[in-house]
Amino acid sequence: MDKLTTLGEFIVERQSDFPFAKGELSRLLSAIRLAAKVVNREVNKAGLVDDILGSAGQENIQGETQQKLDVYANVQMINALRAQHEVCGIGSEENDDFIAFDKGESMWGKYIVMMDPLDGSSNIDVNVSIGTIFSIYRRKTKPGTVAQLEDFLQPGLDLVAAGYIIYGSSTMLVFSTGHGVNGFTLDTSIGVFCLSHPNMRIPEDGKIYSINEGNYKQFPEGVKRYIKYCQEEDEATQRPYTSRYIGSLVADVHRNMIKGGIYIYPATGINPNGKLRLMYENIPLAFIVEQAGGVASDGKNRILEITPEELHQRTPLFIGSKNMVEQAEAYMAEHSEVAVRK
């Protein structure tokens, strides 16, 4: 059996992709790796240990009820990244404002990290796959000063790296530094992530569409027409497609990365700007999917070209196999009016 490449070895081997970084990016990715293992350990205790499952009794900035593991994962990620001194600031879905490190070596950090520390946390209690999403930018302001809002409000085109960790039947870390996508599976017997999915490519076509059809009456007309297209029988295009909606964004996107498919969370009458967060969810996942040969848009505009105007900005999301997303965009363009029913 060939020797497996560990994540640590892979990061070192690819350091030449970033001659400007001088090792900082490698240490930053290593911090995320460590935090992922700690969170994975706690996720796997759910149901066995008191005070892990259930609500934390408070809401985040989006008005969503925080789960206890949301808070735990957020703290673990922040602590791991702060300890490396490569990050001058962090933006998290769980915090009202960004965190700027204003003391010590971290002020000299060259990077900003944006993250959703535990995506899909409402599924924790029922043992459905959940995940962590992260993205890494180079700061805009001068090292040695306190990070400012402009460091965080960067478009996806400025990304240095992005990735996600999925905690499921196995724990995987999937990431890209702009040179393709690679997936690493955690070998729990030795506590090491090993390269299991090199050079991941999302199929150009798929047979799966993922959308919460319970909101059908509120969808834009273009989305309704696309769903009907997916459900129609046509041998030439191997339709009807299969509907698969987990309700855990990382899990839905990861499945489509492997098998091909499209995930849609459109604008609705209740959420006219969509529900998913641009900075914490849409941009990093769009970066990964594009690096794997897929497409990601808000139904009209490329996600990576959207310049954020606020930390917790929301946008619709159409993401997945190239041909499927482009077909959905065509329906959106043809039926541009947005449903207003509430």
Say if residue 305 carries a ligand binding annotation: no
Say if residue 110 carries a ligand binding annotation: no
Say if residue 243 carries a ligand binding annotation: no
Say if residue 326 carries a ligand binding annotation: no
Say if residue 118 carries a ligand binding annotation: yes
Residues of the chain with pLDDT under 70: 1-2, 18-22, 46-67, 337-342
Does 208-334 match 7-197 at the fold level?
no
Say if residue 212 carries a ligand binding annotation: yes
> Do residues 165 and 43 lie in contact, with contact meaning Cβ atoms separated by under 8 Å?
no
Say if residue 93 carries a ligand binding annotation: yes
> Do residues 192 and 183 lie in contact, with contact meaning Cβ atoms separated by under 8 Å?
no
Q: How confident is the model at residue 25, as a pLDDT?
A: 78
Say if residue 45 carries a ligand binding annotation: no
Cα 117 from Cα 167, distance rounded (Å): 12
Say if residue 275 carries a ligand binding annotation: yes
Q: Which helix (H) or strand (E) holds 56?
A: strand 55-59
> Do residues 158 and 138 lie in contact, with contact meaning Cβ atoms separated by under 8 Å?
yes
Predicted TM-score of the model (pTM): 0.91
- Which of 64, 287, 257, 84 lies closest to 166 in space, CA to CA? 257
CA atoms within 13 A on the CB side of 107: 6
208-334, CATH topology level? D-Maltodextrin-Binding Protein; domain 2 (3.40.190)
Say if residue 120 carries a ligand binding annotation: yes
Cα 289 from Cα 159, distance rounded (Å): 14
Q: pLDDT by residue (tens digit) across 139-149?
A: 999 999 999 99
Domain locations in the chain? 7-197, 208-334
CA atoms within 13 A on the CB side of 52: 17
> Do residues 65 and 55 lie in contact, with contact meaning Cβ atoms separated by under 8 Å?
yes
Surface-to-core class of residue 219, CB atoms within 10 Å of its CB (0-12 exposed, 13-18 middle, 19+ buried): buried
Q: How confident is the model at residue 125, as a pLDDT?
A: 73
Say if residue 322 carries a ligand binding annotation: no
The CATH code of domain 7-197 reads 3.30.540.10
Q: pLDDT by residue (tens digit) across 56-90?
A: 455 555 555 566 788 888 999 999 998 888 899 99
